[in-house]
Amino acid sequence: MVLINDIFFGKVELPGIFDDLINSSWVKRLGRIHQSGAIFLVNPDICHTRLEHSIGVMLLIRQLGGSEIEQVSGLLHDISHTAFSHVGDYVFDNTEENYHEQIFEEVLKSSDIPEILSWHGYHVDEVVKGVFNILEQPMPKLCADRLDYTLRDSYHAGLVSRKDVKDFISSLTVENGVIVVENAEKAEWINNLYKKLIEEVFNFPLHVYANRKLTELIKVGLQRNELVHSDLFKDDTYLLNKIRSTTAGYEGIKAIKQQRGFDVFVKKGMGLKMKNRQLNALI
């Protein structure tokens, strides 16, 4: 057994499979990747990791009665994210922000995870080919992935309190395989929070500036062969240090932190195409 401590779910004891998976190299790597991309460079308070999110997704699935293999899939669903999360999508001009989904099977099967799954009686194809309705639903429905980043990112951005989040989670249940809320008030709350998160965090001009400028630095580094594709599958510290190993890269990161040219950036139009997101909770 392993004991997990989460800001929303508290201390939770889990079977040994989760201990082995959390200590696998690809899952541990998520602990060195910022959930919100380059935003921490201009807003250090928003610095939580993609591992925290992945564990949160797993625990939410568990609380809602999902099977062990769905919980496993929740923990693993983001292992193929590049360094700086969705910045990788912008580097590859992926406007749907699903590059990590496109390469998920390849990354998963080339990792140490299939062997770990086999130790516990599972096959990797159960994760790859499984249908997990609590974990994933098409937008704008609620699902564990979408709910956790909405609640967790909003909490770290100061939009909601821990009590707000815990109260909302207690209102959730699953009907016909879909996550629903107990009343119209809760539905309106989460729908409005999602909209607020998009407007005040994801599309906040300074945050877009940071992600855009880091994207440009990575693209230039790749064009000049100062960076290689595989660097994006390391972690944030590794990639940041490699960018800063050149004079131009060092000055570029420094400029982002000092918000140089931000006013001009806003006046010219932010120019970063981001996924159109919406949420419509069912009662």
> What's the distance, CA 275 to chain centroid?
14
User: Do residues 126 and 118 lie in contact, with contact meaning Cβ atoms separated by under 8 Å?
Assistant: no
State the maximum Cα–Cα separation within the chain, in Å, rounded to a whole number. 57
Structure tokens at 231: 């660097």
DSSP 183: S
Burial of 276 (0-12, 13-18, 19+ CB in 10 A): exposed
- Enumerate residue ranges in the chain where pLDDT < 50: none
pLDDT at position 275 is: 67
pLDDT at position 22 is: 97
| 66 to 59, 211, 212: CA distances (angstroms) | 10, 35, 37
Helix (H, G, I), strand (E, B) or coil at 283: coil
pLDDT tens-place string over residues 123-168: 999 999 999 999 999 999 999 999 999 999 999 999 999 999 999 9
Closest CA to 24 of 130, 106, 119: 119
pLDDT at position 273 is: 59
Closest CA to 211 of 281, 129, 275: 275
Structure tokens at 51: 């591992």
Burial of 260 (0-12, 13-18, 19+ CB in 10 A): middle
| 206 to 38, 97, 134, 270: CA distances (angstroms) | 11, 20, 34, 10
d(CA 215, CA 100): 16
